A and B are shown apart, each in its own frame.
Chain A
């Protein structure tokens, strides 16, 4: 399931801000071995193509950990990068992968583009707080 805000603000040539999108994907093993299935899950979580050029944004700073969410445990990877010219704006890239069930997994992703750090943090808090899943 994917959701995104259909409009963004163009602040500079090639720089769109105030974007929000999220995507939830549920993977179910159909006869795969646990090792094979987790390889597919890891591949899916890492397969995202991110956009951004070195002229406009700085590299990501990331933090990840295993966290108990509502109904499941997950590995959450939160990456934040700052805009070079607009120092108040940040990109958030959050990947949540459930880790409990060897036969079923949730891979969820939240992307915030060009938002203030406080706003991004508030949305992240809300997103993680609202995320529910029962394997």
Chain B
């Protein structure tokens, strides 16, 4: 079988910008800035004649550095200047330019199922569904407040929700257009609207569960739910709109999610734990609703109230450590 190697030059986002297939044992491929090279790199940290790849009889590739000052790296290890290195596949760094070499020795995996095909195929009905569910929540939230003018309040809520979705989708559509040359509006609208709907309805349902189970900490779980939905949304947007790989997308989505969670925490749990006028009344009451937790006896409740003296004492100790009395101007 004829020896063959495939050289891919990767861009700054990890996407392939050049692909070159070379066949025949003994064939060489020169890499450098010189226009006489087989692969010309636009990289000021690369030498005019930087490295040479030679296809061997056995199908492997010899990588040799041509005596450069910055050197050539294969899988992050510097290539010895005299002997070079023989590889079956690997990442080659020339200056700041990243290349990837594959040969017949490189295992070829099975066909991977395109997981996002469902979203792509049904993007229009999914986007419509997501927008309708978002608008329904906005209208429902306005209706809950029992406003004086219900149609006007519901219209305002729906317009605000629609405006938010339009801005968010427009931003990611623009990112898509700049990076990939396509707007992909329906895909981004699907991701944004379904993500937002999950956040909104999920948070509301979390409130119902919090009351039924009398679990005050569920507000914090609600924040986690919002965070998870935001993370998934951002990850999918990044994958659709940029050339970033999985790891970079996960990292960026994670960083932004932490910021979103911080904001959600401030809204749901309270901005300042040292606020002396903040009280926690527990989950909102649901009048006449079923409860998982039975009522307590008044005597049991008062026994638990007894422990508040210890907790209040701890808060006082903490406040004295944070701001001693003398410093407080007393």
- Residues in A with CB closer than 8 Å to B306 are 121
In the complex, the answer to whether B297 meets A68 with C-beta atoms within 8 Å is: yes
Tell me, yes or no, whether A16 is within 8 Å of chain B by CB.
no
- Residues in A with CB closer than 8 Å to B323 are 54-55
- Residues in A with CB closer than 8 Å to B301 are 65, 67, 76
In the complex, the answer to whether B309 meets A80 with C-beta atoms within 8 Å is: yes
- Residues in B with CB closer than 8 Å to A35 are 144
Q: Pick the contact of B146 from A36, A42, A99 — CB < 8 Å?
A: A36
Question: Given A42-B285, A60-B278, A61-B315, are A124 and B293 neighbors across the interface (CB < 8 Å)?
Answer: no
Of the 9-residue stretches B9-17, B47-55, B107-115, B269-277, which lies at the interface with chain A? B269-277
Task: Name the interface size band of chain B.
Answer: 35 or more
Interface residues of A in 40-64 (CB under 8 A from B): 40-42, 45-46, 49-55, 57-64
A-B residue pairs in contact (CB < 8 Å), sample of 8: A12-B330, A42-B285, A45-B285, A59-B274, A62-B280, A65-B282, A80-B308, A102-B287
Residue of B nearest to A128 (CB): B298
- Residues in A with CB closer than 8 Å to B328 are 54-55, 84
In the complex, the answer to whether A38 meets B284 with C-beta atoms within 8 Å is: yes
Chain A CB within 10 Å, residue with most, of B145, B287, B295: B287
Q: Pick the contact of A97 from B285, B291, B294, B325 — CB < 8 Å?
A: B285
- A38 to chain B minimum Cβ distance, whole angstroms, is 5
Tell me, yes or no, whether A105 is within 8 Å of chain B by CB.
yes
Residue of B nearest to A60 (CB): B279
In the complex, the answer to whether A50 meets B279 with C-beta atoms within 8 Å is: yes
In the complex, the answer to whether B284 meets A54 with C-beta atoms within 8 Å is: no
Q: Pick the contact of B216 from A54, A64, A67, A121 — CB < 8 Å?
A: A64
- Residues in B with CB closer than 8 Å to A108 are none
- Residues in B with CB closer than 8 Å to A42 are 284-285
Question: What's the Cα separation between A36 and B209 when bound, in Å?
Answer: 18
In the complex, the answer to whether A67 meets B279 with C-beta atoms within 8 Å is: no
- Residues in B with CB closer than 8 Å to A38 are 284-287
Residue of A nearest to B299 (CB): A125
Question: Given A50-B277, A67-B298, are A75 and B285 neighbors across the interface (CB < 8 Å)?
Answer: yes
Q: Pick the contact of B275 from A59, A68, A99, A129 — CB < 8 Å?
A: A59
- B58 to chain A minimum Cβ distance, whole angstroms, is 73
Tell me, yes or no, whether B302 is within 8 Å of chain A by CB.
yes
- B311 to chain A minimum Cβ distance, whole angstroms, is 3
Question: Given A41-B285, A128-B298, are A59 and B329 neighbors across the interface (CB < 8 Å)?
Answer: no
Question: Given A54-B274, A58-B276, A65-B301, are A102 and B288 neighbors across the interface (CB < 8 Å)?
Answer: yes
Question: Given A41-B285, A67-B297, A69-B298, are A59 and B291 neighbors across the interface (CB < 8 Å)?
Answer: no
Q: Pick the contact of A63 from B144, B275, B284, B307 — CB < 8 Å?
A: B307
Residue of B nearest to A97 (CB): B285
Residue of A nearest to B216 (CB): A64
Question: What's the Cα separation between A35 and B309 when bound, in Å?
Answer: 36
Question: Given A50-B279, A87-B316, are A101 and B302 neighbors across the interface (CB < 8 Å)?
Answer: no
Question: Given A99-B285, A129-B298, are A81 and B146 neighbors across the interface (CB < 8 Å)?
Answer: no
- A28 to chain B minimum Cβ distance, whole angstroms, is 12
Q: Mark A5-47, 1 if CB is under 8 A from B, else 0.
A: 0000000100000000000000000001011111111100110
- Residues in B with CB closer than 8 Å to A97 are 285
Tell me, yes or no, whether B214 is within 8 Å of chain A by CB.
yes
- Residues in B with CB closer than 8 Å to A32 are 146
In the complex, the answer to whether A64 meets B275 with C-beta atoms within 8 Å is: no
Interface residues of B in 295-328 (CB under 8 A from A): 295-298, 301-302, 304-309, 311-316, 318-320, 323, 325, 328
In the complex, the answer to whether A39 meets B281 with C-beta atoms within 8 Å is: no
